[in-house]
Amino acid sequence: MKRKTELGGTFSIASWILFIGLFAALLYHIIAKRAIEMHNVRATNAPDLAAFINDLEFNITTISSMSCLHLRGLGTVVTGNPGLIDYRFAPLSTFANYSCINTTKGPTIMLKCSRCPLSRDNAYISWQFVDLPNSPAAAAGFQFNLTATDPKNKKHVSLVSGTLRNGSNFDDKPVTFRGLTPNILKFNFFPRLYHNLNDLKLIQPLLHEFLPGSSFDEISQLQASLESPNDGLINTTLYINFLSSYIVEIKDQNVMGPGE
């Protein structure tokens, strides 16, 4: 994966999303409330960030007829930047409590990080579903929910949720995910300080990018893949970028006149 370029590109991507995000939020608030929410973006320092402690919860269901018996490899978190001194592998339990539950839609991986610090730059977590006798690794898509709450003020939740389905990438032609190339879900986490809500400190998660892994849209190709043990997995990687260089501060301001 092109981690170096990704890191180099972080600022422009982040500012683009911020810009679009702020613009949409401004429009929405003008329409809904006739009051403008003022957003200031300011560089953070260590004490600011240390105050951002949120509970994060992530569920992802691999839409399939598989179960948690197919699951392998979940248990490690990688943080930091390859080649640098902060790069390390750690047990996933140091980062989040995790489990797998069977649901009617397929196996759901649940990750829960209580009082999660924002102090790291990025993290990734990878897992695989593998072929079992008479039950191949194959999926029609992924469904996820990600929430953040401030343990000091649980009334407000920030949420991102979505479905990455078969056919959502190529002309609506149904596809089946299976094979070596990983499915990568990239999320950005923005710290936001709501002065208008008792200084609520909430992390805003956004899905930044989905890089679909190996998939098949022709029955004959799928058949061939099902017979190839090398293809016998679905690799999913959750990549989290903590955009901790800036804090978005939010205040209310009346539209009726300047200076109010």
Ligand X SMILES: *[C@@H]1O[C@H](CO)[C@@H](O)[C@H](O)[C@H]1NC(C)=O
177/247 with CB nearer ligand X:
177
DSSP letter string, 178-237? -EEEEEEEEEEEEEEEEGGGTTEEEEEEEEEEEE--SEE-SHHHHHHHHT-GGG-EEEEE
For the bound state, the minimum distance from the C-beta of residue 36 to ligand X, rounded and expressed in Å, comes to 31
Q: Are the C-beta atoms of 64 and 118 separated by less than 8 Å?
A: no
Write each residue from 105 to 124 as x if it is in contact with ligand X (CB under 6 A), else as -, in one continuous string: ---x-x-xxx----------
Considering only 54-62, 81-89, 195-203, 244-252, which stretch makes contact with ligand X by CB under 6 A? 54-62
Alpha helices in the chain (DSSP H): 3-8, 10-33, 46-50, 219-226
Write each residue from 64 to 103 as x if it is in contact with ligand X (CB under 6 A), else as -, in one continuous string: ---xxx---x---------------------xxx--xxx-
Taking CB under 6 A as the criterion, which residues in 172-211 touch ligand X? Answer: 174, 176, 182, 184
Phi, psi torsion values for 57, nearest 5 degrees:
-135, 130
160 forms part of the interface with ligand X (CB under 6 A): no
For the bound state, the minimum distance from the C-beta of residue 52 to ligand X, rounded and expressed in Å, comes to 15
Q: Are the C-beta atoms of 98 and 126 separated by less than 8 Å?
A: no
Q: Are the C-beta atoms of 225 and 176 separated by less than 8 Å?
A: no
Q: Which residues fall within 8 angstroms of residue 47, CB to CB, at 6 or more apart? A: none
For the bound state, the minimum distance from the C-beta of residue 124 to ligand X, rounded and expressed in Å, comes to 7
| Size of residue set near ligand X by CB under 6 A | 36
Which residue ranges make up the site for ligand X (CB under 6 A)?
57, 59-61, 67-69, 73, 95-97, 100-102, 108, 110, 112-114, 126, 128, 140, 143-145, 147, 161, 165-167, 174, 176, 182, 184, 235, 237
